[in-house]
């Protein structure tokens, strides 16, 4: 008889609310004093100073488990990236709680890159920022460069990052982040960059991360990437969790809602 193992939760979101506060311009006089008053008397001062509250995520609850790849979809401004930042611990929640098992890594933040340094130096700094040892970075350096593909048309890894296109920089960021196994890896639109060859490499790496018992969250407007890499999808709309279920089921409902936005591209 096969042994039954209970799924292990890695991220629990419990009735999460996230609110942005956007300051009004006011009269333009005494701005420092006005700012101090807003901090000291936030409630009433916010209304008086014209501070606008943007309720970006509203009462969102879900549980993610080890070995899952979960897609986050929704129209622009639906709260997908905001939710990822909160899971990563980079944004506070207004109410509710987020519990994580292990350290979530948000792609492009844990591996922050510096424009004035070469790609080579950024590989080392990005690896260190993710908690890799110098020995680990050295042993995986060539693998990271090859995976990114940025040297296929020249020795770009020795050039400053400011000479890279946005696509090249995004590919290097993904390659650095993907060199390490993560408890929870949060990816925001990384697969939208690069050619199909790089996207396929990225999708295969996500599958490998899942096999290592990690959890992957993928925000993408490309439904094909979601279909190819995720077995579960969370659909956020206007900050609310509209649907949580199997990939095809949720994507079909979403495509009906949007009139086909993000469907498989035609060749």
Assigned CATH for 9-19+56-258: 3.40.50.300
Token pair for residue 75? 């129209």
pLDDT digits (tens, 9 = 90+) for 181-218: 888 988 887 666 667 788 888 888 888 887 776 898 99
Token pair for residue 48? 């008086």
For the packed helices 166-178 and 196-211, what is the interaxial angle rounded to 10 degrees? 20
Q: Is the pLDDT of residue 250 over 60?
A: yes
Distance between CA atoms of 212 and 229, rounded to whole angstroms?
A: 15
For the packed helices 166-178 and 119-129, what is the interaxial angle rounded to 10 degrees? 40
Token pair for residue 38? 């807003």
pTM for this model (two decimals): 0.76
With H, G, I as helix, E, B as strand and everything else as coil, classify residue 39. Answer: helix
Distance between CA atoms of 109 and 233, rounded to whole angstroms?
A: 23
Residues in the chain: 267
Please report, to the nearest 10 degrees, the dihedral formed by the alpha carbons of residues 162, 218, 224, 208 taken in order: 90
Token pair for residue 213? 């018992």
pLDDT band at residue 242, thresholds of 50, 70 and 90?
very high
Q: How many CB atoms lie within 10 A of CB 133?
A: 10
pLDDT digits (tens, 9 = 90+) for 34-60: 555 555 555 554 555 567 888 999 999
The Cβ-side half-sphere exposure at 21, using a 13 Å CA radius, reads 15
* Domain edges within the chain: 9-19+56-258
pLDDT digits (tens, 9 = 90+) for 54-112: 899 999 999 999 989 999 999 988 999 899 999 999 899 999 999 998 888 887 544 46
């Amino acid at each position: 008889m096969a042994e039954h193992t209970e799924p292990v939760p890695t991220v629990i979101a419990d009735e999460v609310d996230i609110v942005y506060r956007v300051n009004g311009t006011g009269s333009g006089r005494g701005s420092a004093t006005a700012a101090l008053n807003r901090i000291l008397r936030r409630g009433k001062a916010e209304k008086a100073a014209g501070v606008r509250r943007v309720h970006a995520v509203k009462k969102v609850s879900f549980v993610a488990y080890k070995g899952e790849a979960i897609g986050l979809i929704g129209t622009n401004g639906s709260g997908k990236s905001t939710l990822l930042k909160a899971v990563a611990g980079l944004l506070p929640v207004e109410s509710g709680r987020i519990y994580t098992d292990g350290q979530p890594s948000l792609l492009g933040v844990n591996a922050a890159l510096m424009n004035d340094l070469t790609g080579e130096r950024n590989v080392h700094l990005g690896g260190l920022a993710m908690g890799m040892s110098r020995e680990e970075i050295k042993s995986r350096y060539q693998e990271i460069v090859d995976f990114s593909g940025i040297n296929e048309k020249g020795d770009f890894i020795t050039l400053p990052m400011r000479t890279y296109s946005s696509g090249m920089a995004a590919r290097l960021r993904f390659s650095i982040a993907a060199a390490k196994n993560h408890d929870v890896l949060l990816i925001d639109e990384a697969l939208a960059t690069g050619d199909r060859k790089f996207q396929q490499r990225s999708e295969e790496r996500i599958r490998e991360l899942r096999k290592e018992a990690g959890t992957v969250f993928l925000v993408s407007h490309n439904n094909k990437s979601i279909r190819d890499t995720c077995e579960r999808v969370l659909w956020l709309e206007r900050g609310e969790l509209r649907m949580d279920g199997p990939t095809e089921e949720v994507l079909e409902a979403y495509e009906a809602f949007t009139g086909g936005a993000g469907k498989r591209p035609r060749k």
